[in-house]
Amino acid sequence: MSYGSFALYYDGLTRNIPYEKQAEYLLELLRRHGHVPGLSLDLACGTGSLTIALAKKGVDIYGIDGSIEMLSEAQQKAADENLQLLFLCQKMQSIDLFGTVDTVFCTLDSINHLVREKDVQETFRRVSLFLNPGGYFLFDVNSLYKHRCVLGNNTFVYDTEEVYCVWQNALEEKTTRVSITLDFFEKEGSLYHRSSEAFSERAYGVEELSAWLQAVGLQTEAVYGAMTFDKPEKTTERLMFVCKKLN
């Protein structure tokens, strides 16, 4: 899907995400695992906020996303920062790079947007294919706990200067798949214009993901609670995987 309406409001609804601190955290993870980023890919980069934050810290990086609308926002933001960054429109499970890279980042539960197991497996295979031996793949996912106990069948409301958003979830317990409906209300004079977006996310277990990674030559070196260097607990909502491409 294109996330067309979502792309217009994404940055306004995610202002609470500390992209600079997230970039620092990812680089510190690599440092602790003895890896220099080298040529890097921001997979499922969305509107490019993390791509830009990493680039400003000296990382040689480009971004890929499946939504042309998201990438349009990313290109404009990069231009506003006087950064010449490459953004490509490709789906995660069918990336086809010009050459290999040393590091792949994939954040903000992008893997969860792949609701079919075969798409997750194919994404991992494609990452491994284009990752140099000894290279690193860092990605985060929403945990099973978050899908069952936080997102669940709940409704969230966001009221920003740009838009009023109603976020409604419906949990399928058997698959931990959450169907998400977003309704956006943007004020136009004395009236409101309504637009909607619908998509799904699915949570996967650590053992399941690690097995799929191992099958394509990606070794899980560590799993942390996201934005920490600690082992996840039962109530950890987001997990950070640190994986290395085997020689």
**Mutual angle of helices 19-32 and 49-56, in 10-degree steps:** 60
Tell me which H or E stretch contains 241. Answer: strand 238-245
In this predicted structure, the answer to whether residue 211 has a pLDDT above a threshold of 50 is yes
Token readout for 82 is 């006087």
Q: What pLDDT, in 10s, does the model give residues 214-226?
A: 999 999 999 999 9
Under the phi-then-psi rule, with left for phi > 0, alpha for psi from -120 to 50, and beta for the rest, what region is 219? beta
158 vs 11, higher pLDDT? 158
Tell me, what DSSP letter sits at residue 230? S
Write out the H or E segment, with its range, that includes residue 201: strand 191-202
| Amino acid 136: pLDDT | 98
DSSP letter for each residue of 10-66: HHHHTTT--HHHHHHHHHHHHHHTT----EEEEET-TTSHHHHHHHHTT-EEEEEES
Distance of alpha carbon 178 from alpha carbon 101, whole angstroms: 33
pLDDT higher than threshold 80 for residue 240? yes
For the full predicted model, state whether its pTM sits above 0.85.
Answer: yes
Please, which pLDDT band fits residue 161 given cuts at 50, 70 and 90? confident
What value does the mean pLDDT take over residues 159-169?
Answer: 91
Model pLDDT for residues 92-106, shown as the tens digit of each residue: 999 999 999 999 999
Integer Cα distance of 84 and 23 in angstroms? 18
Contact 52, 83 (CB under 8 A): yes
Task: Give the up-direction half-sphere exposure of residue 98: CA atoms within 13 A in the CB hemisphere.
Answer: 9
Residues making up the chain, counted from first to last: 247
Looking at the DSSP bridge assignments, the partners of residue 198 are 181
- Band (pLDDT 50/70/90 cuts) for residue 231 is very high
Work out the angle at residue 158's Cα, subtended by the Cα atoms of residues 204 and 202, and round it to the nearest 5 degrees: 10
Higher pLDDT, 3 or 2: 3
Average pLDDT over residues 49-65: 98
CA distance 129 to 99: 10
Say how far residue 192 (Cα) sits from the centre of its chain: 31
Q: What is the mean pLDDT of the chain?
A: 94
